[in-house]
Chain A
Amino acid sequence: MSGANRIPGAGRLTPAKTARFFFDGKSYAALEGDTVASALLANGVHLVGRSFKYHRPRGIVSAGAEEPNALIGVERDAARKQPNVRATVQDVFDGMKVISQNRWPSLSFDVGAVNNLLAPFFAAGFYYKTFMWPKQAWKHVYEPQIRAAAGLGVSPTEDDTDHYSSRYAHCDVLVIGAGVAGLSAALAAAKTGARVIICDEQPEAGGALHYDKSVTIDGQDGFTWAQATAANLAKMDNVTVLPRTTAFGYYAQNFVGLNERVTEHLAKPDKKLPRERLWQVRAKRVIIATGAIERHMVFANNDRPGIMLASAARTFLNHFGVAVGKKVGVYTANDSAYEAAFDLKRAGITVAAIVDSREKPGEAVLAEARSLGIEVLAGHGVVDTGGKLRVSSMSVARNGGGSARKIAIDALLVSAGWTPSVHMFSQSRGKVAYDNETQRFLPGTYAQDCLSVGACNGTNDLQATIEESLAAGELMSNASGFTASEKLALQGVNAFSWTGGMAGAAEGAGADTTVKAFIDFQNDVCAKDIRLAVREGMHSIEHIKRFTTNGMATDQGKLSNIHGLAIAAETLGREIPKVGLTTFRAPYTPVTFGTLINHSRGELFDPTRKTPMHALEEAQGAVFEDVGQWKRAWYYPRAGEDMHQAVNRECKTVRDVAGIFDASTLGKIEVVGPDAAEFLNLIYTNSWDTLKPGRCRYGIMLREDGFVYDDGVVGRMAEDRFHVTTTTGGAARVMNHMEDYLQTEFPHLNVWLTSATEQWAVIAVQGPKAREIIAPLVEGIDLSNEAFPHMSVREGKICGVPTRLFRMSFTGETGFEVNVPADFGPAVWAAIYERAEALGACAYGTETMHVLRAEKGYIIVGQDTDGTVTPDDASLGWAVGKKKTDFVGIRGLRRPDLVADGRKQLVGLLTKDPNVVLEEGAQIVADPNQALPMTMIGHVTSAYWSENCGRSIALALVAGGKAKIGQTLYVPMPDKTIAVEVSDMVFFDKEGGRING
């Protein structure tokens, strides 16, 4: 037997298919298809959690996604622990471990419940007032205490071992919700041949048919019809049916996020399956068929376990075969709850009484109650309830006062009416409109190509819902360009049409400030709290919400918002629409981070770009650093070397012998066309007309404001073809910058740009023996100084493959940069490396490259410049074509501030103590003894130990720096002040002869 409260013959689950699960360590029986909620109720367990603030015992309120109370933790293993799962939507699987939350030491005895007694001190907004003094106490006492008490559930500490997936999908019609309305709409749309996606958050289609057993459609039992219809739809090629899939966010232009829970219900999911799948759906049209959510009644102590929505009790009975009590009461303002009483009564459950706040309940339900022998107390209210860990009685009194009659019960079914689920409509930026007659917000002005149908559109009648939905399905398909050959018709019949409903505090909620008549169960917000908020001056519903936290729990106020609004309106003496409705935000129900990031984890978090030679360098012992998305060889430590020693050795070796360096990440742009030189004249500060084919030039690129944007060596391959290089980090934006000017400012030029960064593997060979290293490998290029001087480029062959060979240097040594088609990079690297090793040279990494270039005073854009540096500031004024009449930045350079005295200029710094290496970013002052705050006149941009100079070196931006050469400045650090002498930027080989070696 899967629980004592399971009624034989009731429900749709198969008695033979059992499963066992654990709740707080105790084993329970369940049936396949049970939710945790239905399985616990089947076993007579109503107490499932504690409320957030007062730690009051709480039970299961609903049977669906709106559940505010029954939040549980589900544990699969150490890594997979999911907190705050709604027990009403989580399927039971065999061996499942469920734990209750927000209680200590146990659910039935919770120390935190003392908060309930202290409730007078925890009025709404108490945290805004209580923790104000003493000031220090916030940091040391209040905040840590609150943090310890706050938050629901416990998140796992280990990495998630599940995986998640993502898919983009397009359709003509997306139908959200697979109840009667959604299925009807999808059927009509599917028949036209339109591409249809229909999703529903529940494991199976049906929506309200889960509980409303009285419905037949075309003579078939409603729920059976729903399953058959969903199955038929799923068979159609143009339809995708997605159960267990919640539309959680509705974004611009019918872009809707769906969260499909793929394995959450499985005991032992196939490892290949993602736990959840994100669907990013772009729909031409959307049909919203999200139904309505029943509201609870607001009265004193309406939160005891065993008090639940009437429709939930029907779901538990009619779908799961579970009786929620043996003797139930009903408190309602609406006809629909009567049907719960009827269903339970027919199933053999005692119905103590139906208490109806209305003087005149619907005629039909009243007659049926009478014929079933159920006592109806119209014009009455439940003014209080009794029971510690489960409701045991309700006190019923005539509206307007009088003595209360106490009636013993073990469950109380409540219904204040139905709130149309306008979440998706509102998220689509549609404006809701208040319907005075039925006291509810309904879709008003549409903002996107969507339609609401059925209960979420305020359509109550079954046949009207069917017809509205069929019409919508056809209309939306037509709008997407599809037409049906025949009109669909469906005939729906149900037992009763419903009237009634109320919003706000019921009789029994009390007018005073002590009665706990809950509106928001999870956040413990009572009717009195809303009144208090209004008294304290909150007149906007948004302020009231934040002051009371009403609707701010994980259920986002699905039950509470309308009640809170109605009470606020009443207290303010204004109409509900005048008080306004809070905005609906995504997600509709919580979505795991795993789903949102899906594939973007680990290796796929972001592209990791490696050069063609990466594997070889790794084998050669390289340590890599991240440069943007690139991995670059940083240094090559040999046995026993730390980074410092390795870099010192590499630096020495390059200048004494030679070194080879992977420069493949440098951006490369092929600029081709008869107007190529003219285009480069406009993009760079330099002149390019005079550059002959076969020669190279260092170019500087500015933004229009006159500041240095990027730099690099440009080689002229032919009259109409340039090989442009950029910084590694600047490759993409420089390409974009050039394209921008070419397309929009200089479209008359006949020139085209192609990114060639990855076409070439680039091996820099630098040092006195550079030529000797490559010479035997090169064919067709005269490498002599005379034939191939510094800043030249030639095409020929190396290792038998084509190369663009540059004679250039970023070290100040004789240097070559070997460009070969990328696939040949590893083989050519290996050949050069072999030669280099034999001659005593070595491979070097980016750290050595940085030191060597700093020894020569070569800047790195982005390190020694920061977007406010002009060519002159960086001593690069020579690269600005003085005769040019236009280039990007020419006017910016002439701005008064850019030519003023005292600008920060790039200079060298020599520490007085040659062994002290400055810290990059350290601030510079003229007088270290001045009062705080000191006047800072610059900062260190680059600082290294230079093994070749035998001392530390640094570059810095200093106000009026060039005029300060020879002066002593100071770099105050936390523990000491470092004296430095300002110098020029070249620290090694000041004459520059080595480069032409």
Chain B
Amino acid sequence: MADLIEAATRTLPLSGFHGGSAAAVLSVATPATRISLRAKPDAVSALSGALGLSLPMKAKTSASLNGRHALWLGPDEWLVIDENEADLMAAVAVSNVLHSATDISHRNTAILVEGRGAEVAVNGGCPQDLSLAVFPVGACSRTVLAKAEIVLLRTAEDAFRVECWRSFAPYVSGLLAEAAEDAGN
């Protein structure tokens, strides 16, 4: 009966969303694969090898290579994102060390905030100190944006990637849109 099946198409959260202001432009990140990776310190080296990326061991740091990012979220927790939609579950499966990987590609979505007002826009709802000295390029953290949880990654001096659970995306993008508007004032 397989011939009856028309492969299901994807409906992306926030499809078509763009907004913000000249100071802080908002856009939706392209689809990416993501896993929540959990492991103890003795497995980190093998997992890093499997991912081709050194899993960061220090709080608030990340590692990025060719569109693949590993973000330290907790002492045994990383959010791994692959913007090229590589199969991350398969990648870590070959590590042969004790770990847990869960596919969360569709759980999260991401909004990109870019421009000279990006920091101010994110600070419209995020209580962390985002100055470059404290939150440099590459810094990342799970935190809050007003009433939603986000994972924040600084991709450039004036650019952030804001990851959130898909159902929070309208709230997160709506709040960022207002804050981005104000960041231009």
Contact = CB atoms under 8 A, between A and B. Distances in A.
A760 B107 CA distance: 7
Nearest to B148: A607
Contacts of A348: none
A56 interface: no
B146 A169 contact: no
Nearest to B181: A272
A801 interface: yes
Contacts of B175: 599, 604
B11 interface: yes
Nearest to B108: A758
Which one of A274, A603, A609, A798 has the highest number of Cβ atoms from chain B below 10 Å of its Cβ? A609
A756 interface: yes
Nearest to A720: B100
A800 B104 contact: no
A159 interface: no
A464 B183 CA distance: 39
A757 interface: yes
Which one of B13, B102, B105 has the highest number of Cβ atoms from chain A below 10 Å of its Cβ? B102
Contacts of B65: none
Interface in B79-120: 98, 100-108, 120
Contacts of A581: none
Nearest to B3: A776
Contact of B170 (A610, A673, A831): A610
B131 interface: yes
B120 A752 contact: no
A758 B100 contact: no
A280 B8 contact: no
Contact of B102 (A610, A754, A828): A754
Interface in B1-47: 1-2, 4-13, 31, 36, 38
Given A165-B124, A168-B127, A272-B181, A759 B107 contact: yes
B7 A799 contact: yes
Contact of B6 (A274, A826, A831): A831
Contacts, number: 155
A168 B104 CA distance: 30
B76 to A, nearest CB: 7
Contacts of B9: 824, 827
Given A608-B170, A757-B107, A779-B5, A672 B102 contact: yes
A751 B105 CA distance: 21
Interface residues of B, number: 53
A984 B166 CA distance: 42
A804 to B, nearest CB: 11
Contact of B185 (A273, A603, A674, A755): A273
B104 A759 contact: yes
A751 B126 CA distance: 31
Contact of B11 (A607, A756, A758, A826): A826
B1 A824 contact: no
Interface stretch (A387-395, A411-419, A815-823, A870-878): A815-823
A608 B181 CA distance: 22
Interface string A737-776: 0000000000000111011111110000000000000011
Nearest to B128: A168
A604 B6 contact: no
B152 interface: no
A475 to B, nearest CB: 21
A607 B147 contact: yes
A282 interface: yes
Contact of B5 (A165, A170, A273, A776): A776
A170 B127 CA distance: 9
Interface residues of A, number: 59
A798 B2 CA distance: 10
B171 A779 contact: no
Contact of B182 (A165, A280, A672, A750): A165
B102 A609 contact: no
B124 A822 contact: no
A600 B1 contact: no
B4 A776 contact: yes
A29 B29 CA distance: 55
A262 interface: yes
Contacts of A166: 124-125, 179
B6 A759 contact: no
A927 B72 CA distance: 64
A611 interface: yes
Interface in A619-637: 630
B178 A612 contact: no
Which one of A169, A607, A801, A820 has the highest number of Cβ atoms from chain B below 10 Å of its Cβ? A607
Contacts of B8: 798-801, 820, 824, 827-828, 831
A167 interface: yes
B174 interface: yes
Contact of A758 (B125, B167, B182): B167
Contacts of B108: 758
Contacts of B127: 168, 280, 282
Contacts of B182: 165, 167, 274, 277
A750 B98 contact: yes
A606 interface: yes
A777 B166 CA distance: 26
A274 B185 contact: yes
A824 B107 contact: no
B167 A752 contact: no
Given A607-B148, A776-B1, A823-B10, A756 B102 contact: yes
Which one of B146, B178, B185 has the highest number of Cβ atoms from chain A below 10 Å of its Cβ? B178
A994 interface: no
Contacts of A751: 100
Nearest to A616: B11
Nearest to A828: B8
B98 A607 contact: no
A332 B10 CA distance: 79
Interface in A571-617: 599-600, 603-604, 606-612
B104 A754 contact: yes
A836 B105 CA distance: 29
Contacts of B178: 163, 165, 599, 604
A606 B147 contact: yes
Interface in A178-230: 195
A670 B36 CA distance: 10
A799 B178 CA distance: 39
Given A170-B131, A776-B5, A823-B11, A604 B174 contact: yes
A825 interface: yes
B124 A599 contact: yes
B21 to A, nearest CB: 8
A160 to B, nearest CB: 15
Contact of A779 (B2, B101, B125, B128): B2
B54 interface: no
Contacts of A604: 146, 171, 174-175, 178
Given A277-B182, A280-B127, A752-B100, A822 B6 contact: no
Contacts of B10: 823-824, 827
A609 B167 contact: yes
B12 A823 contact: yes
Contacts of B155: none
Contacts of B165: 757-758
Interface of B: 1-2, 4-13, 31, 36, 38, 76, 98, 100-108, 120, 123-129, 131, 134, 146-148, 165-168, 170-171, 174-175, 178-179, 181-182, 184-185
Interface of A: 163, 165-170, 195, 262, 272-274, 277, 280, 282, 599-600, 603-604, 606-612, 630, 670, 672-674, 750-752, 754-760, 775-777, 779, 798-801, 820-828, 831
6 contacts: A599-B175, A600-B146, A750-B98, A754-B36, A758-B107, A799-B5
